[in-house]
Chain A
Amino acid sequence: MLTQHLVILPLLIPMVTALLQLLPWGENPQRYRRALGMLSCTLLIVCAIFLLNESASAPLVYALGSWQAPYGIVLVADSLSSLMVLLTAVLAFPVLWFACYGEDNLGSHFQALFQFQLLGIIGAFLTGDLFNLFVFFEVLLISSYALLMHGGGKLKLRATLHYVLLNLTGSAVFLISLGVIYGITGTLNMADLAIKIAALEGDNASIARAGGLLLLIVFALKAALLPLYFWLPQAYAMTTGTVAALFAIMTKVGIYAIIRVFTLIFGDDAGAAALLGYDWLWWLGLGTLAIGAIGVLGSRDLRLVISYLVVISVGTMLTVFSMNSERSVSAVMYYMLHSTLITAALFLLVDVIAKQRGKTASRIIKGRRMAQHAALGIMFFIAAIAIIGMPPFSGFIGKLLILEAARTGAQVALLWPLVLGSTFLVMIALSRAGSRMFWHTFDGKPGDVTHPQSQLIPIGMLLAAIIGITVFADVINQFIERIAYDAMHPAAYIDAVLGGQHVK
């Protein structure tokens, strides 16, 4: 009974929680809302672990309303989706914990919006239908519009306006691409599309390719690939630390969508539409990587530095993905786990640093000592080492896997210098920021803003998760290699969804 409905549970938990949180809870509602939110995040983690366990052998397919694919909408949890759901849950728990110390009082309904955001993200990971993917994108976008403005302020407002207008245009392009693809194939189920598109020839295949490339534009906008990344640094740097930390998973939704659609539908076996857009991803990914590195070096605000680190990670992942081998997909997956967790930790940490420094906030200039100088310093040091990619933390392993994934001479010649060069620039930028903010402080008495120890625990948890994926890198890597194998051989996924009835 429970295993039968396990796939839809990660959607129901945040949705029901959000609805409960919206109820009027009397004089002091925030207490109950926080408790509900934390409960939901805990349940999500448990649920995601079960899901990962259950879907390890074969993809779980859940036909909503028992309408069988390809006619009904299905949720599909294969190991890739389940891993992403687990990552979301593991990220959400500490971020929400951190937010419960007053951050959620800055605007109304933060808690409910947080849960709706989780609903949208998890839905995008679990759905097996392209139009449903659009709907879940809208769910996550509309809550992100509100979350991005959380706390108010003029600059935040302008950054949100840019973000909203860009994404509305993106949604329109998404619908156009869905229309093009539906008009040619007559289906929107991803597994069914994989078969139908592979069978197309001539003009129809060209139109399907156009639809696919439009999809790539939409996903690249979400993921923040080179010509479409301009919204990201301002939006992430202007919003509050918790929201930015939660948004660490948002660009990954775009990357997940690219991996899912462009291995399943436009992969090696897609006939006339095979390997659509891979060459674009390669060059644009490299460009993103370079631009991100320049941005990191040029930023004078630590928040902006971290925002550009997100841009770098997106560039790295999409470049590596475009090499199209099992090795490269597994490198992307490991790097995705690493970069999501470490970016979130850094955003939370910078939020604490900015508050404790007072007037100088997160600008990289000489300021006064912070009240919890030593603890913050140590955490920043660990986080910086991890995100730069120096041993002994997961960033090092991630970069190692990425460098190893490049096989041909041309790939090595372009990827290695750019990855290593950007690593070098990030190291310069972060050591400059660290020494300015932690070592070159004014003499005299430290600032008086302190954070309760228990609020720093979530950051510690995220860093512990980083150490965890470092220690268990071998186990994780074996698991991820299976995911990569499944991604490159989508026949099992298609069989699971269509029940083996299709003719190949």
Chain B
Amino acid sequence: MEALYATTVGMLTACSIYLILRGRSFPIVIGITMLSYAVNLFLFSTGRLVMNELPIIGNQANYTDPLPQALVLTAIVIGFAMTAYSIILAVRVRGELGTDEVNEPNTSDAEGQR
């Protein structure tokens, strides 16, 4: 199970890094979303992978660590809000600038043209 889990996280991360390094905002946003999935899975595994156990100490010999689950929950909520914001922002940039290139291809020097 560990190998499958680790491969999944690794694949997700590798794909997301590829996407983040693109020059257009849409793939970057998708990449960041994927990276946050990978991170959530990774965080979840930091309490070690345990099957069919309760997150309570004392009642049984083995238990699963509840803290990473709480951390993942927080990270999911925050990541969700941030993804929503970045999508809206990317759409606005696309609307106002007419392109979703992250850097403007033609004019590189925009100094003092506020």
A contact residues vs B (CB 8 Å cutoff): 131, 135, 138, 142, 145, 149, 153-158, 160-162, 164-165, 168-169, 171-172, 175-176, 178-180, 182-183, 186, 234, 237-238, 299-301, 304, 361-363
Contact = CB atoms under 8 A, between A and B. Distances in A.
Nearest to B75: A175
B114 A155 contact: yes
A165 B92 contact: no
Given A165-B86, A179-B42, A155 B113 contact: yes
Interface string B69-108: 0010011001101110110011011001100001010000
A165 B28 CA distance: 8
Interface of B is mostly: helix
B89 A161 contact: yes
A380 to B, nearest CB: 18
A138 B113 contact: no
A183 B41 CA distance: 13
A153 B46 CA distance: 43
B112 A157 contact: no
B104 A165 contact: no
Given A161-B93, A168-B32, A179-B46, A361 B39 contact: no
B55 to A, nearest CB: 14
B89 A164 contact: yes
B68 A182 contact: yes
A161 B81 contact: no
B67 interface: yes
A361 B111 CA distance: 11
Contact of A145 (B75, B85, B102, B110): B85
Nearest to B32: A168
B97 to A, nearest CB: 6
A142 B97 contact: no
Nearest to A141: B82
A186 B113 CA distance: 51
Contact of B36 (A155, A172, A186): A172
Determine which residue in A155, A168, A363 has the highest number of CB atoms from chain B within 10 A of its CB, and name it: A168
Contact of A165 (B32, B36, B42): B32
B32 A142 contact: no
Contact of B96 (A138, A154, A178, A362): A154
Interface string B17-47: 0001000010011001001100110110111
A75 B78 CA distance: 21
A164 B102 CA distance: 12
Given A131-B74, A158-B93, A363-B111, 6 more contacts: A135-B74, A156-B114, A161-B25, A164-B86, A179-B68, A363-B112
A94 to B, nearest CB: 23
B114 A160 contact: no
A131 B74 CA distance: 10
Contact of A157 (B20, B45, B78, B96): B96
Contacts of B32: 165, 168-169, 172
Contacts of B36: 172
Contacts of B85: 142, 145, 164
Contacts of A234: 110
Interface of B: 20, 25, 28-29, 32, 35-36, 39-40, 42-43, 45-47, 65, 67-68, 71, 74-75, 78-79, 81-83, 85-86, 89-90, 92-93, 96-97, 102, 104, 110-114
A301 B97 contact: no
A157 B71 contact: no
B82 A171 contact: yes
A182 B112 contact: no
Contacts of B71: 131, 178, 182
A234 B97 CA distance: 17
A4 to B, nearest CB: 27
11 contacts: A161-B89, A164-B85, A164-B89, A165-B20, A168-B83, A172-B35, A175-B39, A179-B43, A237-B111, A301-B112, A304-B112
Given A161-B89, A179-B42, A168 B82 contact: yes
A155 B42 CA distance: 37
Contacts of B75: 175
A182 B96 contact: no
Contacts of B29: 165
A165 B35 CA distance: 12
A165 B110 contact: no
B86 A301 contact: no
B43 to A, nearest CB: 5
Contacts of A168: 32, 82-83, 86
Contact of A161 (B46, B78, B90, B112): B90
B69 to A, nearest CB: 12
B24 to A, nearest CB: 11
Contacts of B43: 175, 178-179, 182
Nearest to B67: A182
A361 B112 CA distance: 8
